[in-house]
C-alpha cells in the first residue's frame, strides 16, 4: 500500500481542515457549554459533500472511499470531535440505505440525507441490550402492509428532531441475530417519542436521547432489504462507523497534542521553557509516535474495507480499539502537560478529553473489539 496521499486526497483533507477551522472551532466551546446542536453548520458541511462521503453520486453523495472519509473525519475532529462524530454517524446510516436499500428507497431518502436537510440516527442499542446487541427486544409485528413497532432504544445520537430519520433494528422473527430486520422510521410517525436529552460527560454538542416506539405503524416498504438480515446490515454499518470514530479520536488527540506543544513553548519552570526539559520532549515524541502509528493502522483498515477484504471486519475492530485508546491517552497526556491549566475549560484540552472518552465505548466497546479479534485467533 502506498501511504503517500494523492493530490485529490490532500485537497479533500485541506478543505475539511479549513471548514473545521473557520466554521466549527470558533464555536466549539460555546456549543459544548450550551449543549447546542449546530444543525445549520452540519448543513454547511453537507454542502461540501460531507453529508454522504461514501454514498453514490446519483443520490447526491460524494462517491468517495473509506480512506477519504478517515481523512475528512480526522480533520473535522481537530475542531470538535463531537460534531465530527455525529456527521460520521449520519454517514453510517446513509450508507446502510445506499448499500442495502432498493432503488426507490435510495432515491427517495438519500438526497435528503446527503444534503443533511434531514438527519439520521442509528437505533440499535437498548436499555438491556448494549454489547449483546443481538438480544434486542424492540419488536416489529407485521400487520398487513405495515409493521407495528413497540420498544425502546437507548443512547441514540442526534435523536429528538421530529423531522429526521431513524434507522431502527427491530425483531421481526425468532430470537437472536437472524430475527432482526432494519426499518426506517420517519420522524413524526405516530407513536414515536423521545426521552430527555441525557446529561453527559462529553459530546454535549449533539443530543443523546432514548427513542420510544408505542405501536408505531410504519409501512413494510420502509424495511431495508429482506426480513432477517437487519443484524448483518447493522454490523456492516459498524465496520465503517468504527473507522470513522477512530478517525475522530485521532483528530481530537492531534489537536490536544498541538495545544501541548504550543503551551510548552510558552510556559516556564525553574528558569527554562517546558520544552527544554528532555523528559518532556520525550513525552511529546512518544505522543506523536503513537498517533502516527494509530493513523497508519487506520489507513490500513480503511483500505481493507474499500477493497472488501475478507479480514476487513477484524482490521476495523483492531483499528478502532487501537486508535480510540491511543487518542484518549494522548489527549489525557496533553492535559497533564498543561498542569493545572489543562483542567480549565479556557485551554480547550479538558473538552477534548471528555469528548474522546466515549469513543472507547460506542460503536462497540473496546472490550468487544477484543472479542472480535480473539474469535479470529482461536476460532470461536
Instruction: Single out the catalytic residue among 198, 290, 363, 367.
Output: 363
Is residue 104 part of the annotated active site? The answer reads no
**Cβ atoms of residues 138 and 150 within 8 Å:** yes
Q: Which is nearest to 110 in space by CA: 96, 94, 121?
A: 94
Cα separation of 226 and 219, whole Å?
Answer: 14
Report residue 313 as a C-alpha cell: 471486519
**Cβ atoms of residues 115 and 108 within 8 Å:** no
Residue 379: enclosing H or E segment and its boundaries?
A: none
**Cβ atoms of residues 356 and 333 within 8 Å:** no
Q: Are strands 180-186 and 223-224 parallel, antiparallel or unpaired?
A: antiparallel
Cα separation of 16 and 76, whole Å?
Answer: 6
Residue 194: enclosing H or E segment and its boundaries?
A: strand 192-194
Cβ neighbours, 10 Å, residue 377: 8
Asked whether the CA dihedral 358, 359, 365, 366 is positive or negative, the reply is negative
- Give 210's Cβ-side CA count (13 Å radius): 11
Cβ neighbours, 10 Å, residue 18: 12
Residues in the chain: 380
Cα separation of 129 and 121, whole Å?
Answer: 17
Where in the sequence numbering do the catalytic residues fall?
A: 363
Amino acid at each position: 500500500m502506498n501511504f503517500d496521499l494523492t493530490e485529490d486526497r490532500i485537497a479533500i483533507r485541506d478543505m475539511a481542515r479549513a471548514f473545521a477551522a473557520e466554521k466549527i472551532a470558533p464555536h466549539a466551546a460555546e456549543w459544548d457549554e450550551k449543549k447546542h446542536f449546530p444543525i445549520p453548520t452540519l448543513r454547511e458541511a453537507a454542502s461540501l459533500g460531507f453529508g454522504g462521503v461514501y454514498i453514490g453520486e446519483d443520490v447526491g453523495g460524494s462517491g468517495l472511499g473509506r480512506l477519504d472519509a478517515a481523512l475528512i473525519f480526522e480533520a473535522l475532529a481537530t475542531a470538535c470531535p463531537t460534531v465530527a462524530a455525529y456527521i460520521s454517524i449520519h454517514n453510517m446510516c446513509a450508507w446502510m440505505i445506499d448499500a442495502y436499500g432498493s432503488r426507490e428507497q435510495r432515491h427517495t431518502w438519500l438526497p435528503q440525507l446527503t444534503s443533511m436537510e434531514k438527519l439520521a440516527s442509528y437505533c440499535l442499542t437498548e436499555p438491556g441490550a448494549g454489547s449483546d446487541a443481538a438480544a434486542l427486544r424492540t419488536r416489529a409485528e407485521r400487520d398487513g402492509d405495515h409493521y407495528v413497532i413497540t420498544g425502546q432504544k437507548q443512547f441514540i445520537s442526534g435523536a429528538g428532531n421530529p423531522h429526521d430519520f431513524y434507522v431502527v433494528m427491530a425483531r421481526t422473527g425468532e430470537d437472536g441475530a437472524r430475527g432482526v430486520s432494519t426499518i426506517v422510521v420517519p420522524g413524526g410517525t405516530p407513536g414515536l417519542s423521545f426521552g430527555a436529552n441525557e446529561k453527559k460527560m462529553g459530546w454535549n454538542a449533539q443530543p443523546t436521547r432514548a427513542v420510544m416506539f408505542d405501536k408505531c405503524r410504519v409501512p413494510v416498504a420502509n424495511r431495508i432489504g429482506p426480513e432477517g438480515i437487519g443484524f448483518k446490515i447493522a454490523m456492516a454499518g459498524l465496520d465503517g462507523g468504527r473507522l470513522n470514530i477512530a478517525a475522530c479520536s485521532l483528530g481530537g488527540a492531534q489537536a490536544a497534542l498541538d495545544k501541548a506543544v504550543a503551551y510548552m513553548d510558552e510556559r516556564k519552570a525553574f528558569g527554562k521553557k517546558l520544552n527544554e526539559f528532555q523528559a518532556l520532549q520525550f513525552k511529546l515524541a512518544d505522543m506523536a509516535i503513537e498517533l502516527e502509528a494509530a493513523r497508519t493502522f487506520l489507513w490500513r483498515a480503511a483500505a481493507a474495507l474499500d477493497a472488501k477484504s475478507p479480514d476487513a471486519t477484524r482490521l476495523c475492530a483492531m483499528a478502532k480499539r487501537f486508535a480510540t485508546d491511543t487518542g484518549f491517552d494522548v489527549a489525557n497526556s496533553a492535559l497533564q502537560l498543561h498542569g493545572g491549566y489543562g483542567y480549565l475549560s479556557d485551554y480547550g484540552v479538558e473538552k477534548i478529553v471528555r469528548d474522546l472518552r466515549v469513543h472507547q465505548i460506542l460503536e462497540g466497546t473496546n472490550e468487544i473489539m477484543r472479542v472480535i479479534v480473539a474469535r479470529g485467533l482461536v476460532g470461536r
